[in-house]
Structure 1
Amino acid sequence: MFEYDKISADDYDRLRGRYEPLTDALRTLVDVGVHTDVDDATVREALVHLEAATALLQQRLREDRPVLRHADTGRPVTWGNPAVGLRNAISPPIVVEHDGDGRCWSEFTLGPVYEGPPGWVHGGVSALVLDQILGEVASDSLSKARFTGTISLRYVRGTPLGPLRAEAFVERTEGAKTFAKGYLMDADGVTVEAEGVFITPAWARDAG
């Protein structure tokens, strides 16, 4: 069972203001690292600066991994999540929207950092995105403890790099199991279909 510490809206905004620009800069650095074609001397010079930046950031590191929940919204604060984490530079990031009818969706862009075959999104990245958005809808916007039991994907066709949309909805609930479906799509339609079963753990069932 998770024990959540609450973080106030003011503290959340303060920390977001501090670390979001850093994450954006790191994300840009990752992208530049994929594309750069500078010479050996420039790479060595860049390494000096990167090592200096790493030393600065290492001056104070968290020893624990507190599980936080936003005091106003009740949502978990997923700083390090690789799909939506505000402090994780490998996340696209994806901002998940929630409709009144219980559906989730997100519109985002995946560039060459997420490439598998040339010009196409890596299949594992597609799975990451769909697992995240199915999990969001199955857990009522992360407000309930429901974890991925199984997820199956059907790759309809290649997913091109560029603007994309993901959608998800709950199909049905049977006891501790919630069945969700979702899609990844581009401007021409669906590229990946997903079905997932999300399980409410025993401790959450016992909690009522």
Structure 2
Amino acid sequence: MSMDFGYDVVTAEEYERQRLLYGPLADSVRKLIAAGLRTDVDEDTVRNAQASIEAVTEMLERRQRSANVMLHEVTGRPVVWSNPVIGLRNAIAPPMEIHHEDDGRCWSEFALGAAYEGPPGWVHGGICALVLDHILGEAASGGLTQPKFTGTITMRYLRGTPLGPLRAEALIDRTEGAKTYARGSLSDADGATVEAEGVFIVPAWARDAG
């Protein structure tokens, strides 16, 4: 079941053009967010920086794209530029690059910095849930190629998750009708920090279409 319900298709060439253009822009905004969180420059510098940021924002707002979802012509995956976990154009996203194995497992190695901090030095628990919800959904939906959405998700916080390099992984446990059960974990160099189990459901409109 492919998620092709009236979505536009983007060619591989156009996808690559946008990736090379907008990826570095998002990286620059990520650096800006990190710098703004920890800066301790003088008042004049702060005000000058604010004016510059507002000028750049106005420049980028001159033309805005539509929010239509596109499908990649080769992979069949949705091009989710705005996704807060994997979105190439979303500076809030780490971003995570998801790797899919032949046995259905998926994983990602990435880093979370100060923008994701809860207690000092530790990742906010809600960010851990966001990351795991997404990677469990990747596993359950065959890499987002099948319409399956989170029904329930259960988190077990084993210990604090430190800021810095992390690994998330997930796999399908079983499938029962319209429900797919997935499980996964978030880990640092010393092992798992959070474990999760989720139920992902094929929505009624997709079942009817199938």
Match of 1:53 in 2: 56
Match of 2:133 in 1: 131
Regions of 4+ moved over 3 Å: none
Q: Does 1:83 find its partner at 2:85?
A: yes
Taking only aligned residues, the RMSD between alpha carbons, in angstroms, comes to 1.0
Match of 2:203 in 1: 201
Length, aligned pairs only: 207
Contact 1:3 1:67 in 2 (8 A): no
Task: Report how far residue 174 of structure 1 moved.
Answer: 0.5
Structure 2 distance, partners of 1:51, 1:144, is: 40
Contact 1:109 1:161 in 2 (8 A): yes
Structure 1 distance, partners of 2:10, 2:79, is: 9
Amino acid paired to 2:180: T
Match of 2:36 in 1: 33
Match of 1:165 in 2: 167
Amino acid paired to 1:190: A
Structure 1 distance, partners of 2:121, 2:22, is: 31
Task: Report how far residue 207 of structure 1 moved.
Answer: 2.3
Q: Does 1:4 find its partner at 2:7?
A: yes
Determine helix, strand or coil for the equivalent of 2:56. Answer: helix
The percentage of counterpart residues that share the same residue type is 63
Contact 1:164 1:185 in 2 (8 A): yes
Structure 2 distance, partners of 1:121, 1:55, is: 32
Task: Report how far residue 21 of structure 1 moved.
Answer: 1.1
Task: Report how far residue 88 of structure 1 moved.
Answer: 0.3
- Cα distance per residue 1:79-135 (max 9 Å; x no partner): 000000001001001001001110010111111111100111100100010011000
- 1:40-189 matches, within 5 Å, as 40-62=43-65, 64-189=66-191
Amino acid paired to 2:116: Y
Contact 1:105 1:166 in 2 (8 A): yes
Q: TM-score by structure 1 length?
A: 0.97
Amino acid paired to 1:108: F
For structure 1, the residue ranges without an aligned partner over 5 or more in a row are none
Q: TM-score by structure 2 length?
A: 0.96
- Cα distance per residue 1:41-67 (max 9 Å; x no partner): 1111101111110111011112x3111
Determine helix, strand or coil for the equivalent of 1:165. Answer: strand
Task: Report how far residue 3 of structure 1 moved.
Answer: 2.3
